[in-house]
A and B are shown apart, each in its own frame.
Chain A
Amino acid sequence: MAATEKEIVDGLAEIVNEIAGIPVEDVQLDKSFTDDLDVDSLSMVEVVVAAEERFDVKIPDDDVKNLKTVGDATKYILEHQA
């Protein structure tokens, strides 16, 4: 069953918390991974791989650069999940 927007944000919050140590409540749709959440380019790859597993979605490397915010990622996952 496809995840809802809320489930995706909550899931991304857990992933970002695991990888960057940011409190889950700080992971909001408007937050930038790099500027607000301490996720550098290498850690972003980890976020993407974890999100792929969790939401059963493929995120090609060329698309990763467009995922600047939690909102960008959430929208991408909503549109591409199996």
Chain B
Amino acid sequence: MNSTNNTVVVTGIGATTPLGGDAASTWEGLLAGRSGVSLLEQDWAADLPVRIAGQIAVEPSEIIPRPQARKLDRSAQFALIAAEEAWKDAGFTGKAGEDGNAVEPDRLGAVIASGIGGVTTLLDQYDVLKEKGVRRVSPHTVPMLMPNSPAANVGIALGARAGVHTPVSACASGAEAIGYAVEMIRTGRADIVVAGGTEAAVHPLPIAAFGNMMAMSKNNDDPQGASRPWDVDRNGFVLGEGAGVIVLESEEHAKARGARIYAEAVGQGISADAHHITQPEPSGNGIAQALLNLVHNTGLKPAEIAHINAHATSTPQGDIGEIKALRQAFGDDVDHMAVASTKSMTGHLLGGAGGIETVATVLALYHRTAPPTINIENLDPEVDADIIRSEPRALPEGTIAALNDSFGFGGHNVVLAFRTV
């Protein structure tokens, strides 16, 4: 019988991002301070006010066979690639319970989130409907566009029968998925859960819509310098695409099979602003409450926290609200937290952000090296925290923890905590 308070650990990581086609190349890009943002040279981008994005480094068509790929939205393709990598990285091959794979399908879960789901499929098929007629609309449209499609496809590919879930909370979705997965293992519903976030929204409609909200940077002349969290000249986020997925496992299960353990997944703190549908609550109260809930739920001590992979998307309001919240929740302890925004390099992957940023947070603990924030030429004087700029930062010896912040339109605040083992 499983106890109901299992310790949860991370035993596998996978990613496909604007910096690289796997976790290793993404990590290398982050440490090198490389920007994955580029000019959108597609014809459809010509008339858009925003013509930059963090486009995927390795096209999924190079990996997934075409007959399979044509039934999968791009968001599900990213998720499958990252999940397969994480699965292999955790020491597994093939489907649970089949061909020598000893994982019990009934003890394996999958929780993969997306902020917008299969938006490109929906829009492409609407074009087909208008241009070619009803009969030509793909019968795969619904299973491709539904937001749970990435989770369901990963669950089918790996044979996950303990439960497959898709929390949707805009840009907090990926983090919420990982938090949900941690709870599944902690409470004994599963021994292993493959969890993360994915997003594929580089398409004229989402870009036009975000652009009209004044939420995006229009620095088309300087794509690599456009995402500049905490810089005084920041003027909005840069859209990115990709996925980050981790394998979470009960410590007991991981140790019994001699798995490599990257970090402990300590738990989560969640709150909601109940303030405005898109604007962050300016005092940071909502975020601070999520941080306090994290401490309350997990017993994590602020003194343990050495690094924060911040949400900071490069928007004027949001970047400052997050820093205020850190001070409000942790007081002087913030002084020993090295804070970075990897969105300065990847752009903002929306529902995929919590996925790839969790990968970055876990690797930072594992290698005791935190990635930098690039493009800060003039740090906003309101930023009262130790921001890692330009160069990676060595993290202290001993037991340390790191946080990954993710916040979403709707006022969703999710903070995940990990700890060295």
Contacts and interface: CB of A to CB of B under 8 A. Distances in A.
B299 interface: no
A21 B70 CA distance: 11
Given A21-B67, A38-B67, A49-B135, 6 more contacts: A19-B70, A42-B139, A42-B143, A43-B71, A46-B140, A52-B135
A2 interface: no
A20 B139 contact: no
Contacts of A38: 67
A9 B76 CA distance: 33
Contacts of B68: 21
Interface in A11-67: 19-21, 38, 42-43, 45-46, 49, 52
Contacts of B67: 19-21, 38
Nearest to B68: A21
A45 B139 contact: yes
On chain B, which size bracket covers the interface? Answer: 10 to 19
B65 interface: yes
A52 B65 CA distance: 26
A52 B71 CA distance: 21
A16 B261 CA distance: 45
Nearest to B138: A46
Where chain A touches its partner, the secondary structure class is helix
B65 A21 contact: yes
B66 interface: yes
Nearest to B135: A49
Nearest to B141: A42
Interface in B10-65: 65
Interface string B133-146: 00110111001000
Residue from B67, B68, B136 whose CB has the most chain A CB atoms within 10 Å: B67
A49 B136 contact: yes
A75 B135 CA distance: 22
Contacts of B66: 21
Nearest to B143: A42
A43 B139 CA distance: 7
A42 B136 contact: no
A42 B140 contact: yes
Most A Cβ at <10 Å: residue of B65, B138, B143: B138
Contacts of A49: 135-136
Contacts of A19: 67, 70
Contacts of A45: 139
22 contacts: A19-B67, A19-B70, A20-B67, A21-B65, A21-B66, A21-B67, A21-B68, A38-B67, A42-B71, A42-B139, A42-B140, A42-B143, A43-B71, A43-B139, A43-B140, A45-B139, A46-B138, A46-B139, A46-B140, A49-B135, A49-B136, A52-B135
Interface string B119-148: 000000000000000011011100100000
Contacts of B140: 42-43, 46
B58 to A, nearest CB: 21
A39 B68 CA distance: 11
Nearest to A46: B139
Contacts of B136: 49
Nearest to B136: A49
Contacts of B71: 42-43
A62 to B, nearest CB: 15
